[in-house]
Amino acid sequence: MSSLYDVLGVSNSASTDEIRSAYKALSLKHHPDRPTGDEEKFKKVQEAHEVLSDPGRRSQYDITGSINGGPSMPPGHPLSGMAAGGIPFSFMSGPFGMPEVHFDMGDMLNGMFGGRQPPRRKAPVGPNKVHEIGIRFVDFYKGREIKLKFNQARKCRVCDGSGATESEACEPCHGSGTRTMLRQIGPGMVAQTQSSCDACSGEGKRTKRACSACQGKKLLEAEKQLDIQVTPGMRDGQILPFVGECSDSLEFEKPGDVLLRLQCVEMPDTYEWKGDDLWITTTISYAESVLGFTTTLSAHPSGTHPVVSWQGGPLLHGAALKREGAGMPRGDGKGCGAAYLKIVITPPPLTPWSSEDAAKLQSVLGGAAASMNSTGDALTFHS
């Protein structure tokens, strides 16, 4: 039996154009109304053209050698109709021609229902990209506009991202952008899968004349500026999305989002930022812990150097003193959180009290000084 290519008198690798012109010439020649007419040949030419002019059916025919692509499924069968619809999987008997074979139908169906759509040439949206951006502690407090410049690739507008001002159908895939492959899934059973054509990266066409604007690269890079509004109430680690600001790429229809993660920098070592509040490690002397103190928060992000004082009695090491409104701006714009002074007490001088000082302390604190009333064995200082 002669192949469909033989019927049209073209080679297996004939282009769509070649097939079309061979078909036109032969239909005229064999048309039954003509003196040279031959109805039988005319029908065969029609049939060959019908198959070979359809990239999907042509691939199927190239592999199976059959116009129908293998035995057809009975109507109502879950697999019937799918092959005809050009889905990525169709089934036929394998090289050994064994119609009754056992294989995992569930596995096969999973594969099918996972891939019912024809393979996409491009994924719709590219991945998002997270960039860390350092924001000064004071800028979190006061707010700031920051301009971020970077190189962004965009589809060339001259060639609309095709890289070509003139193109032709890809030969290996006959312009379909997909190629059909066979995979053995069981004895005598072969699954037919379609995948993107390597030769044209699934585009279905190849460059005849490269675009001069992008030199055929399809993408052009340009400097892009993002305006970042850091407003009071934003948080360390907060993410600001810039939709579709990733570079265009050849793999995706649309670029992903640029996600900027704000990262607090230049925060004083003694500061800790928790929610709306600030925890400020405040070191005071032993005397101040007993007698009270006044201190200036010189590193406070407001820049106003707030003065705070404590006269409320002796403090223990690790105590916290609260000052409302001296924390970070709240997210809702209603004032600020609190500042907590975390008290660290430096040890008192390690020199023994003079008997005079001890007497003074005794008069304030009460009790009896050991030196005045020693009855036990003497201890020595261990450092």
Sites of contact with Zn ion (CB under 5 A): 156, 158-159, 170, 173, 197, 199-200, 211, 213-214
Closest separation in Å from C-beta 43 to Zn ion: 31
Encoded tokens for 130: 């997270």
Closest separation in Å from C-beta 58 to Zn ion: 13
Burial class (CB in 10 A: 0-12, 13-18, 19+), 4: buried
Contact yes or no for 192/182 (Cβ under 8 A) = yes
- Compute the C-alpha angle 80/83/86, nearest 5°: 140
**Nearer of residues 167 and 192 to Zn ion, judged by Cβ:** 167
**Nearer of residues 219 and 344 to Zn ion, judged by Cβ:** 219
The one-character DSSP state at 371 is G
Contact yes or no for 219/142 (Cβ under 8 A) = no
d(CA 165, CA 213): 10
Closest separation in Å from C-beta 119 to Zn ion: 13
Closest separation in Å from C-beta 175 to Zn ion: 7
Burial class (CB in 10 A: 0-12, 13-18, 19+), 229: exposed
Closest separation in Å from C-beta 268 to Zn ion: 52
**Nearer of residues 26 and 197 to Zn ion, judged by Cβ:** 197
Among 179, 227, 230, 175, CA closest to 203:
175
CB atoms within 10 A of CB 251: 12
Contacts (Cβ under 8 Å, ≥6 apart) of 33 = none
**Nearer of residues 185 and 214 to Zn ion, judged by Cβ:** 214
Encoded tokens for 100: 């009754």
**Nearer of residues 199 and 299 to Zn ion, judged by Cβ:** 199
Closest separation in Å from C-beta 121 to Zn ion: 10
Closest separation in Å from C-beta 201 to Zn ion: 8
**Nearer of residues 156 and 343 to Zn ion, judged by Cβ:** 156
d(CA 251, CA 124): 9
170-181 as b/e, with b when 16 or more CB fall inside 10 Å? beebbbbbbbbe
Closest separation in Å from C-beta 256 to Zn ion: 22
d(CA 6, CA 41): 12
**What ranges in 92-192 are assigned the alpha helix state H?**
105-114, 137-142
**Nearer of residues 58 and 300 to Zn ion, judged by Cβ:** 58
Closest separation in Å from C-beta 159 to Zn ion: 3
Encoded tokens for 305: 């150097």
**Nearer of residues 139 and 248 to Zn ion, judged by Cβ:** 248
Contact yes or no for 348/286 (Cβ under 8 A) = yes
**Nearer of residues 252 and 279 to Zn ion, judged by Cβ:** 252
